[in-house]
Amino acid sequence: MREAFSRCLVQAAKANARLMLLTGDHGYALFDDFRKECGSQYLNAGVAEQNMVGVAAGLAKVGFYPVVYGLSSFVPIRVLEQIKMDLCYEGLSALLIGDGAGVVYSYLGASHQSTEDIAALRSLPNVSIYSPADATEMQWCFSDAIDSRRTCYLRMGKADLGRVHLHEAVSPAPLATPVRVLGEARDEIAFIATGAMVKTAMILAQRWQGVSVWSVPRLKPLNPDEIDRCIAASRKIVTFEEHSIHGGLGAIVAERLAACDAARGATLFSAGIDNRFSELCGSYDYLMDRHGLSAEKLQTRLRAFLGDEDRSI
């Protein structure tokens, strides 16, 4: 997925000489091709992320299109005020990239992990939020964000989990989301996932009967009718996200369920990170298991919610 991002970025910069990439002293190997082919459009703002967003806003005001890259614990979390006032309030066009979202930087502890970025941005006006699951969705999201001409945040989580879309599926314009990746729309159990958790949802779906799996690459704006479409036949709904259970995908679906009759009587289970920090450091797989988000831990948790339909051995 990171290679797809790099490719999209280089192509966009070649097509638009006024695209500027700003980085907060991160991403050197990721931007090797960009610096080689579009070096004059690259600016390392140093370890000064808040100032970097201010510079991006200034560039946007004079006709440039800034792409602002940082770790998601810094962009958007450290720079939330600047995003709010310098970009969103001014209605400017910019693309914010938050890399290593969730607990990807597992060994570096809570200071470098970001499990609240979606929730922090959802309440801000004039911002779109993307969370691609694989290289195909990265291309969709990047293109949609560039074309939207507004402030956008693109969340990059664990990037090496393999493809969700086995073929080069063509996304309609504008980007339709959720996107069904397994099962049928009429299935009574709906797994709705975003980002790195889509792959886990697909693995777990094989262990129950009558499960559809939906990926949500764009979390905001999200047409309520599109959520209704994937939950209309559901009696059980499970959301999956490498993000806090507060304010993310689970909350989006819960809000929709409370506001409409599309899934009258359906019950919801939100699989995400409970309201706590990572207390210990370790590998990514270790931390996902500690937070109850490994496939094995989730299978145990889902048995209680979905009943005895689990057919795994």
Domain count, the chain: 2
Look up the CATH number of the domain holding residue 232: 3.40.50.920
Residue 221, preceding peptide bond in cis (omega within 30° of 0): yes
Tell me the pLDDT tens digit for each residue of 288-304. 999 999 999 999 999 99
- Same domain? For 109 and 223 the reply is no
Q: What is the pLDDT of residue 26?
A: 85
- Same domain? For 103 and 135 the reply is yes
- Same domain? For 131 and 256 the reply is no
**What is the DSSP code string of 222-253?**
--HHHHHHHHTT-SEEEEEEEEESSSSHHHHH
- Same domain? For 43 and 114 the reply is yes
- Same domain? For 133 and 34 the reply is yes
First CA to last CA across the chain, in angstroms?
32
Q: What is the pLDDT of residue 313?
A: 38
- Same domain? For 184 and 119 the reply is no
- Report yes or no on 145 lying in a domain: yes
Tell me the pLDDT tens digit for each residue of 256-273. 998 876 566 899 999 999
- Report yes or no on 173 lying in a domain: no
Distance of CA 311 to the CA centre of its chain: 30
Percent of the chain with pLDDT over 70: 94
- Same domain? For 54 and 122 the reply is yes
Distance CA 71, CA 122 (A): 18
Mean of the per-residue pLDDT values for the chain?
A: 93
> Between 170 and 227, where is the model more confident?
227
Alpha helices in 95-148, H assignment, sequence order:
117-122, 135-148
For residue 309, pLDDT over 60 is answered with no
Which helix (H) or strand (E) segment is 99 a member of? strand 94-99
Nearest to 9 by CA among 30, 32, 28, 34: 34
Average pLDDT over every residue of 11-27: 95
Distance CA 87, CA 73 (A): 18
229 band by pLDDT with thresholds 50, 70 and 90: confident
Tell me the pLDDT tens digit for each residue of 165-187. 976 655 655 577 899 999 998 89
Which among 117, 141, 156 is the end of a domain? 156
- Report yes or no on 168 lying in a domain: no
- Report yes or no on 169 lying in a domain: no
Q: Is the dihedral of CA 296, 99, 182, 306 positive or negative?
A: positive
Alpha helices in 124-173, H assignment, sequence order:
135-148
- Same domain? For 149 and 183 the reply is no
Tell me the whole-structure pTM to 2 decimals.
Answer: 0.95
- Report yes or no on 188 lying in a domain: yes
Which among 156, 191, 221 is the end of a domain? 156
Look up the CATH number of the domain holding residue 113: 3.40.50.970
For residue 79, pLDDT over 90 is answered with yes
Domain that holds residue 69: 2-156
225 band by pLDDT with thresholds 50, 70 and 90: confident
